[in-house]
Structure 1
């Protein structure tokens, strides 16, 4: 069977409107003057993972629901401009969108428009199967249609990764993703006991590696029953925004993983890619190149 695609990314396509605010949380006021402007650009979690993988030289295909609307046009243009293959399933409710409030320190508060998704959202099974059977690996965003695509992905023989984002360790919605994935990414933001949650997932699921990113504290890698700390890497430029750092980490890790690198080196690549993402203003979509990743690894050896 030919596997002409390195990574099939499922879900997570959409558009963000970026508003830089003077502080977070934002105190109540009748109005604020936004000197940097209010800007809208394509790029949500699946888009950023697909972009990150493509910039690292991996053959990437993105599958998601898109509306016939201006937001959908922005997503299509992003993929065309960066040479990312895209299969867009029609979404009558419209393309996913969000508003991101970004503070001076780069932290963000995301407001997601949940009206553009429905419980009945599905990818056509034949489409998922055909794309998966042509891929080496699948990365599933935690959006509704991806949950129902997990059994088809498993049957296709691809390895699977997912990002649980700011899961609290209890919400049952995330569990099917966590238990079906060979690689699990998540944030420590809402976890009272990250190590306990990671070990529980390892015991119940099939994950060979679990990575919990912890912002400025680095990340934690659980593999073969051993938990290790992955330190941060000094960014190549000033930090301006944390938006997309977790997606960049996942792309860097997957680059190493699909090239046969050991988990610790994969996580190091993720840290380098995540640090680069923090130097990119949230008003544009960009990711580290393969050459810059290798240069960063040489400058920051394990």
Structure 2
């Protein structure tokens, strides 16, 4: 591939798909399950898909859908280096990120991820979709060295948001998951892959359209969610304050009576739960994602499915 002049393509049989999630939250595995389901529906072979996570519980979700079992993140480099016979590597990161890279604590730095991605044998193109928080720390990488890299970032130097998605995942046995808190950018990226379409009107269906669609729809989902989240945050704040008042009163009484506090155990559990939920709601209210794209000239020339 000479720079961005030559057209490339991502098809159902020429691309190795890799997912990474350094998270123990089931919602991030559901993000991957949704994405893998889309790929399989497009004719991608299970042999061309890998999921890396250190979450010991993830396998019970992937196995319910008969999807490839997750592998430890430590196996990432070896698996990519052994992925022969593919023209492209498409790597998707979900879960958590921080100012120094993937994971919290950090397990993969930006430089290491780029190096590992470029180790894919015979790869002529690498695409990295970064949907986690602080995805912007991966921006401004050397994208033109061989193989060239396109990066799609869900967020810049801040948080990436998950929002309640009204979408049903159906397992082979008929069990259903009716919605989850999905990573908005990743969800819409794979909805576009499910039904690719020309977004910018240039008559071509390319990776640039995928970026524009996922970024726009993710932002729209977040904006649409905020009024509901505002009302919910007020209700949670009232519940939080009610429990806190009882806890504070018992603490004061214990000090006055010179005895240990005798809190209702359910109050302590509900207090912590309300605080966690309130923090999550407030983060959605006060954060706006800033999607970004590295190597747009190349993305414009990468046809998809």
Interval containing the TM-score (normalised by the shorter chain): 0.3 to 0.5
Structure with greater helix percent: 2
Structure with greater strand percent: 1
- The structure having more radius of gyration, on CA atoms, is 2
The normalised TM-score by structure 2 is 0.40
The normalised TM-score by structure 1 is 0.40
- Considering Cα pairs closer than 8 Å and 6+ residues apart, tell me whether 1 or 2 has the greater RCO: 2
